[in-house]
Structure 1
């Protein structure tokens, strides 16, 4: 929120300079993000009147002007298209300094000649003075501007603009008077109400527009007034245009400017309808399916039962609390208007404007809560400004109508003084707490050691005792609170030794050559359909972009996007990983403070490898990383546990180069090469290899178990067996370790595979068979090995292989 300091001081003017005022607001919970002057520095620029403007004898686009700047008439050559006799404009005298240009140096005005004609100064535009970005011509000043007066003094350009960064609970501070009310409490200074001295405008006609509130859960109060016979083409006064500009609001027209001005002043948004375009009365209700509305911004929105509207007998005319419709917008031909100010329930407005992908100042205020008691006073304030600016001898105002369907009733909150002192950490008395509540304008009653406070109508953020304690702390002054160490010792919770931290996993992946990426959890719906096989993803009600409309159930799409970004920039070798959360539907998940009902949110770790297996060195270019390189990385992550890889299918992976990863018989993820279809669709130079694992399973880290060194040497035996082509390595090892070797088998390693040429038999291996060479390590920790023990163990293994796999010794 932005506003000028001078406007704030009209309501509350404590004995503080600008820096102290900004510090007071910041320490009171209203962060002043920036303070800057209303205009950059310049000097010797005064109000002047152009007395004559003649064509330059040697230039078509220049005029020679005679200017009254408060002394002797000055001759100034000017090229502005609106330079003409009779207007008052800023004039930079000889020796004046204009604001610095792009080089950072001020521009000094000197006596000069333009096409042979002397020029004793310069007539200025708003952009040349740094007041505005609009610089199509000279800045025209009001006709009553005093000639010769300093422009800085006349336009109050030494004012300071304050930019505040307000948190969502501070809706009561979204106005100049709201900030003045808080400043008065913080500085213990007197406050002038915006409605002080505001007299009711008497009704001169009985005209009233009938209003019906059909949805009391949408609108609690609706006030309005008919005003006839206006001159809507009247110009907005310069003082109002100036204040709106310093609040960051562009001037539109007199009626719109008045509505915006009162909103910035009081915090109450309002709307002005063209009365001639309203058919019958107004109905405040929820929208209906199939209805639509063309808004003031030109967009047409579809309505439903969750959006509030204001409609007449024929159609919807306004989006409740957000934006008016184009049909009833005031124009230059409007003569009769209906002025409306209402109280809308915050819960009925919150999030509605974001649903239509735009935001308004009115919606921003209403969804945080606006004082419901001030609607009729705001109508009186707007009426007085309309009569002063747009009034004519024929102007007539009707009575103020006020429909109330139900206003919020703040629940009393009890504050225990001892509790407040304990939480804040300073001694407090009941009188101190009562004084703070009195400065904040809160009604309260006192009891023994406690104060019962009724929140004022403009404070929607006060609901529990902790809120009152916060009010006491900030008005006491956070900077006055003593620095006291915690009373209780702080002990960090120890992580189980059987579980490593995600940071250790990150370091291990970095050691394997991977770089970490961080991506949004919001992804394209097509990613979920194509890469995760998820036809019903969790959709966002309010996506920040159309391509980020669903929650991801897999990390693969995010990693492919990183690869695509790097590949488009000719990165030859990409090795990335991400540790992140995914979101899947699960009806068994209950709702809680840390979970959403029906949504499971596990953590995953995923990696992607594309390009050479290693960085090119003196050995020359390295071969591309393949399935087995990444499989080795997965085994390293899970070591010393031994995962099992079995053939599987996955929507994102190559059907013949994909494996499911199992740990102790439980699936924990997938590993494989990207499907050729998706490689072609993403236009990747080569197919990457990816893995995605459950993070909790990866973080488990069993403790090593110590064992005594064997007292006897082990022995090795090699076997060459012939098995059918379909036998897998996993089946081979399972059969070997299942053999009854009396504990002698220590390890088994496959070290060779032989297949005959296609359709032929050779060396005892027939077509459709293969020869597997296995090295067995046998040992006995208690007794020496004998040939009889070794032969019996090998025989047991051969019998098991023949029984389970149909294997035979190779001849």
Structure 2
């Protein structure tokens, strides 16, 4: 919802500046997303008079102007065909930024002649679309004065985010009412003209859909003269990003923004028979004002005549019956549409509009007569014409609502003590009626107020949300016990471990498209009513989002992509907490090229598992193949504890990389957090390095092709408690088809240095354990 400060002051008698208004809006619970001022961008531009205009000596289409901008004559080269002596326009000096051209002016030579700035067109200053010549101002415009100030453009514009429950603030007057209640000024009376109709309407109006359109009011106006809107109306609409179309259309947009009351105007010459609110019929369609054709269903309310549909009721008018410059007779529609029906229709058609935003929140059902009168008055003032009497078809749902209120509930529910008299004044200033027994009558424009808690909220936000004290919950005596669950501790610990390994945390959507889910086995969970097709499937893996994020990073020149995410993946049986990570294989660090590929992915997975479950568990894991099909079939694996998968790792499949737009190899992995056990952190002793030197021994074993190296690794680690680490460093295949694996075993003495006999005994146990695992010592 956008509005300007001057527009607000049409309803609010106040001397507050923009900063004060913004602060007050925030204080009463209306979020200010931004405050802008067109005058800031136009500050350097001043009103100037062209003193002389001579032909450029080197170019027929250019002129050399002598321009007075208040500081004496300056030479300016100009190519505008309307540049001439005596013209008053807008001058941009050197150093000024021209928003429509995205350039900063400087003194420059144009075809050999020095130019000191420029005379500007409307498009160059983003004041309109005119670009055929420079702006021509009235001859009495004061030379040397800032253009924005003279033109009244110094008018801050507020962009306020309105929550769905505050339908009353979808108009400037509703926001002014809140500010007046907060003490920022006085709400001005609303001027509603009394318009006597001149005979019956020339078009019959009725509603045949009392559920979708309970009330359909309207009148005809004959003999109007449509055309461009006056400057005040055009500037006011354009300031809030509404394109000025014509006086009749602009009037409806103005009343909608000003009072939160959408209306529509029909060209009577394009109608055949009565104008009726009814349900759409099978096979009907309508070309809307946005140029698109929409297929309608019997669940949708439309406005139609005897020939066909002209309007998607409460959402968007039709192209066929819209007014044009030649329009002379019109029908002004002012209707009340059911909010739920509007929401369903808009969602089904995928169509949004300013009118829909207001009708689906619920406009004031008691404001039909006044809204129609105000719109008619503007039409008569700007376009002339002869109004008919008002036709009122149906009746709006105006049912008085009351709430029995107890002021003592405010400190109990709201946390602040507001005197009863002040509470009464706040409610009355917001339009509520407060009886002597505290029976509160809810105004027709506040359909969100339903009980005592809602009234307490109104009192508290006007008294000031910033005055609600921050009161901590009562804490039990003594030291509080930890409340984090094991699952939370696992996530907390593994998140820190991933960050310590140089991975950057990412957060991606849990919803992905069917196309994104297909390479990862498809989605087992599909939404019945997704926001869009691109967010239809609950992700079966964390990798689709991480791969897409990696692609975006690479596309922006980031070579070393290191991402991880902790979240849920959604399998057919349940949702599973998971950590996923992606690394680019060719990443380069400070020390040169870092190891990449499946080995790096495996190292990441094992390190993260060790951080959560301890090194002992990580060493007991065995590696199996194959991993899931989205990994490279020969460069990936599954880490298992017994028969239970704990993690997958490896390089991503080349076809997946091509589909994702990644031109370089990438490795990835997923850790299944619900398969990890939490290692309890006991009291950690101070770091004390072992004073005894470790001993390293190399072995070479022959292993059959069908025996995984992980089994040999695990067997050697279990051979003796003094085996600290096992590292494979060589592999080649023998003519017999077997593999020769060379490995280094690190032995760490505990009490004293090893003797030769102890080393031989440990080596014998290692060889025996290897033979039991199916390997033999290479001769």
Cα displacement string for residues 417-467 of structure 1 (whole angstroms, at most 9, x for unaligned residues) = 2221234444333332222211111123454xxx34332111133234333
CA RMSD in angstroms comes to: 5.4
CA–CA distance in structure 2, aligned partners of residues 62 and 754 of structure 1: 80
Match of 1:181 among 177, 190, 200: 177
Aligned to 1:326: 319
Aligned to 2:35: 34
1:527-542 correspondence to structure 2 within 5 Å: 527-534=516-523, 537-538=526-527, 541-542=530-531
Aligned to 2:690: none
Aligned to 1:712: none
SS of aligned partner of 2:188: coil
Matched, 1:500 2:489: yes
- CA deviation after TM superposition for structure 1 residue 726, in Å: 2.6
- Contact 1:45–1:151 at 8 Å: present in 2 too? yes
- Contact 1:605–1:692 at 8 Å: present in 2 too? yes
1:499-648 correspondence to structure 2 within 5 Å: 500=489, 502-534=491-523, 537-538=526-527, 541-543=530-532, 550-567=537-554, 573-583=560-570, 602-611=576-585, 615=589, 617=591, 625-639=596-610, 640=614, 641=617, 642-648=620-626
Match of 1:402 among 390, 393, 397: 393
Matched, 1:461 2:448: yes
Match of 1:488 among 474, 487, 491: 474
Matched, 1:171 2:167: yes
Aligned to 2:110: none
Matched, 1:757 2:746: no
- Contact 1:91–1:123 at 8 Å: present in 2 too? no
- Contact 2:623–2:639 at 8 Å: present in 1 too? yes
Structure 1 residues 629, 78: closer, same or farther in 2, change over 3 A?
A: closer
Structure 1 residues 238, 424: closer, same or farther in 2, change over 3 A?
A: same
- Contact 2:2–2:160 at 8 Å: present in 1 too? no
- CA deviation after TM superposition for structure 1 residue 317, in Å: 1.9
Structure 1 residues 192, 411: closer, same or farther in 2, change over 3 A?
A: same
- Contact 2:525–2:537 at 8 Å: present in 1 too? no
- CA deviation after TM superposition for structure 1 residue 601, in Å: 5.3
Structure 2 length-normalised TM: 0.74
- Contact 2:217–2:368 at 8 Å: present in 1 too? yes
1:55-134 correspondence to structure 2 within 5 Å: 91=88, 102-103=95-96, 134=130
- Contact 2:585–2:667 at 8 Å: present in 1 too? no
Cα displacement string for residues 95-120 of structure 1 (whole angstroms, at most 9, x for unaligned residues) = xx967764379xxxxxxxxxxxxxxx
Structure 1 residues 730, 291: closer, same or farther in 2, change over 3 A?
A: farther
Aligned to 1:220: 214
1:175-254 correspondence to structure 2 within 5 Å: 175-187=171-183, 190-196=186-192, 198-214=193-209, 216=211, 218-232=212-226, 234-254=227-247
CA–CA distance in structure 1, aligned partners of residues 739 and 79 of structure 2: 96
Aligned to 1:427: 417
Structure 1 residues 269, 140: closer, same or farther in 2, change over 3 A?
A: farther
Match of 2:310 among 310, 317, 321: 317
SS of aligned partner of 1:629: helix
Aligned to 1:340: 333
In structure 2, the gaps of 5 or more residues are 66-76, 99-117, 685-695, 752-756
Aligned to 2:264: 271
- CA deviation after TM superposition for structure 1 residue 556, in Å: 1.5
Cα displacement string for residues 43-79 of structure 1 (whole angstroms, at most 9, x for unaligned residues) = 9969x9x9xx9998999889999xxxxxxxxxxx998
CA–CA distance in structure 1, aligned partners of residues 724 and 464 of structure 2: 74
Structure 1 residues 274, 151: closer, same or farther in 2, change over 3 A?
A: farther
- CA deviation after TM superposition for structure 1 residue 258, in Å: 1.6
In structure 1, the gaps of 5 or more residues are 66-76, 106-121, 587-599, 707-715, 761-766, 782-786
SS of aligned partner of 1:268: coil
* Aligned residue pairs, count: 714
CA–CA distance in structure 1, aligned partners of residues 510 and 588 of structure 2: 31
Aligned to 1:112: none
- Contact 1:273–1:337 at 8 Å: present in 2 too? yes
Rg larger for: 1
CA–CA distance in structure 1, aligned partners of residues 503 and 148 of structure 2: 64
SS of aligned partner of 2:13: coil
